[in-house]
Amino acid sequence: MVIEKVGVIGAGQMGNGIAHVFALAGFDVLLNDISQDSLDKAMATISHNLDRQVSREKITQAAMDDAIARIKTTMNLEELGKTDLVIEAATEREDVKNAIFEKLLPHLKPETILTSNTSSISITRLASRTDRPEKFMGFHFMNPVPIMQLVELIRGIATDEETYLALVAVVEKLGKTAASAEDFPAFIVNRILMPMINEAVYTLYEGVGSVRSIDESMKLGANHPMGPLELADFIGLDTCLAIMNVLHEGLADTKYRPCPLLTKYVEAGWLGRKTDRGFYDYRGETPVPTR
Ligand SMILES: CC(=O)CC(=O)SCCNC(=O)CCNC(=O)[C@H](O)C(C)(C)COP(=O)(O)OP(=O)(O)OC[C@H]1O[C@@H](n2cnc3c(N)ncnc32)[C@H](O)[C@@H]1OP(=O)(O)O
Ligand SMILES: NC(=O)C1=CN([C@@H]2O[C@H](COP(=O)(O)OP(=O)(O)OC[C@H]3O[C@@H](n4cnc5c(N)ncnc54)[C@H](OP(=O)(O)O)[C@@H]3O)[C@@H](O)[C@H]2O)C=CC1
């Protein structure tokens, strides 16, 4: 099947990055969100990130202009009915994702491939609520999408080979690398990464280290590009907590218990960079630790 038009649902940090890389690779993109403000912010972020690529001579100005021209935005989900591939990248909540699919499906062409960028939720379960489990897959991009090389491909129990091969070809066209993961809670990257982030929050909670000492230790002592608390703020603490809950409930092992301090930050609405406050306060010139 030829994939030319791509629908992206959710214009947050992942949705805007996904729209960016697809448009740059020559796909027509229709970006959807429930808020016009989020769509406007997403287009401004995409322009800013493409501009950065132009100034670093990674892409030409003409490639940037073409990419911007290929992205259209809409608050009307029905318009995504014209697309060949849909990537859902809305908030990490199963009820939100199911409601989106329910509203979208009556408008979708029968051959359209439906995917979710979920970080952790069962692909088989999401697929089972749709009319096309064989054409449904997990299509998991990493943050920041324009920079990170990996895309996890997760087949549900019913996903057919044609769908899988179509997505392998799309990943190649994006110039990224695909890794296949089985459909178990949080797949590969987050099964390993998120317990480490959760453990960093426990390390803070138990007073073993401060925000700064924990992040410095992992950057200088383990050569991580970002400290685990800085990375948690970058991902979004709501998303981190949602992934830990999926691991905890899905694998029924206390080793995945979300740290109560992580829960407290989310309850406060301190979700990290996207709300300007998390383990760091980003409202000033330089980030200041909040503990
Ligand atoms: C939660 C999930 O489900 C799965 C996940 O995504 S887990 C999260 C995975 N991501 C990570 O682990 C990211 C870890 N951090 C890093 O790799 C690096 O800190 C980083 C790439 C984000 C920034 O690197 P840095 O060296 O500190 O900054 P800097 O030199 O300014 O930027 C490096 C490149 O990233 C780009 N960049 C930085 N931030 C960016 C952003 N938010 N969006 C787009 N591009 C960005 C820069 O333009 C630069 O590009 P070039 O190399 O093409 O010139
Ligand atoms: N953050 C990360 O590092 C990564 C996240 N992911 C996954 O990507 C998905 C999105 O995460 P992320 O971009 O970080 O989250 P964000 O919170 O940045 O963005 C989510 C966006 O979805 C919008 N949204 C909510 N409900 C709907 C709806 N019904 N229809 C359309 N849009 C909707 C939100 O709008 P509003 O703000 O108005 O609620 C928001 O703009 C999640 O499944 C997450 O697990 C995957 C890889 C990495």
Joined together, the tokens standing for residue 148 give: 């990170």
> Can 119 be counted among the known catalytic residues?
yes
In DSSP terms, 277 is beta-bridged to: 272, 281
Q: Using an 8 Å Cβ cutoff, are 83 and 110 in contact?
A: no
Q: How far is CA 118 from CA 12, 88, 98, 227, 252, in A?
A: 13, 8, 12, 23, 20
Cα–Cα distance measured from residue 103 to residue 118, given in angstroms and rounded to the nearest whole number: 18
Asked whether 60 lines ligand 2 (CB < 6 A), one says: no
Segments in the chain below pLDDT 70: none
The strand pairing partners of 179, in sequence order, are 152
Out of 88, 92, 147, 241, give the residue to mutate to test ligand 1, the one with the largest number of ligand atoms within 8 Å of its CB.
147
Distance of alpha carbon 261 from alpha carbon 247, whole angstroms:
17
pLDDT confidence of residue 1: 77
236 lines ligand 2 (CB under 6 A): yes
* Ligand 2 near 208 CB (within 6 A): no
The catalytically annotated residue of 16, 38, 117, 119 is 119
Q: Is the CB of residue 36 below 6 angstroms from any atom belonging to ligand 2?
A: no
Q: How far away, in angstroms, is 221 Cα from ligand 2 center?
A: 32
In 3-state terms, the chain is what percent helix, strand and coil (to 5)?
Answer: 50, 15, 35
- Tell me what pLDDT residue 90 has: 98
Sign of the alpha-carbon torsion through 229, 234, 236, 242: negative
**Closest CA relative to residue 15, chosen from 27, 2, 30:** 30
Catalytic, 206? Answer no
Catalytic residue among 88, 140, 198, 230: 140
* Predicted pLDDT of residue 135: 98
Closest CA to 191 of 247, 262, 249: 247
Q: What is the pLDDT of residue 118?
A: 98
Ligand 2 lined by 196 (C-beta under 6 Å):
no
Residue 117 appears among annotated catalytic residues: no
Ligand 1 surroundings by CB, under 6 angstroms: 49, 52, 56, 58, 119, 142-144, 146-148, 189-190, 193, 225-226, 231, 235, 239
Q: Would you state the pLDDT for residue 3?
A: 97
**What is the ipTM for the molecules in this complex?**
0.95
